[in-house]
Amino acid sequence: MNHSMRLAIFNTFVSLKLLAIAETRFASVIIMLKRLKLIKQGLQQMVISEEWSSYREDDVCKARRVKEIILDDEWWDQVDYIVSFTDPIYEMLRIMDTDRPTLHLFFEMWDEMIENVRETIFNHERKKEDKRSPFL
């Protein structure tokens, strides 16, 4: 099965396109993870479909591994966690990345960003705010 046929299977189940990771693109991995979250249902429908079995015959081990990952709730929980604690960082850097003067916004945004990241990590680790996290 060639790339075009695989892409046709993907397009049957997902209306959005996958994004290619570019080394020069700022935060491309975060952007890709956000897109994966958006197309999660389509990907899951794809790997349990009849069309998937025709791909599976092409490379059984790879197809099985892809299916396991796409249907793994723990893997999706990790994606959610990564996106949730990197999102405040990404948003702050995106706002600061401009030709306009933004230094006057930096300190307030920094404190807010750190607090949002901290809250996300503590919620994930189920720790109280007064405790320490090895992550921070």
Q: What is the pLDDT of residues 15-56, one digit of tens each?
A: 887 766 666 666 788 888 999 999 999 999 999 998 887 765
Residues 63, 37: Cα–Cα separation, whole Å: 20
The burial of 104, by beta-carbon neighbours within 10 Å (0-12 exposed, 13-18 middle, 19 or more buried), is given as: exposed
| Between 78 and 8, residue with greater pLDDT | 78
Let me know whether 61 and 93 are in one domain.
no
pTM to 2 decimals? 0.75
User: How many domains is the chain built from?
Assistant: 2
Residues 7, 116: Cα–Cα separation, whole Å: 38
Mean pLDDT on 69-74: 96
Please say which residue of 26, 53, 71 terminates a domain.
71
Please say which residue of 51, 71, 91 terminates a domain.
71
The answer to whether residue 71 scores a pLDDT higher than 90 is yes
Please say which residue of 48, 71, 94 terminates a domain.
71
Let me know whether 2 and 64 are in one domain.
yes
pLDDT grade, residue 97 (50/70/90)? confident
Residues 93, 10: Cα–Cα separation, whole Å: 32
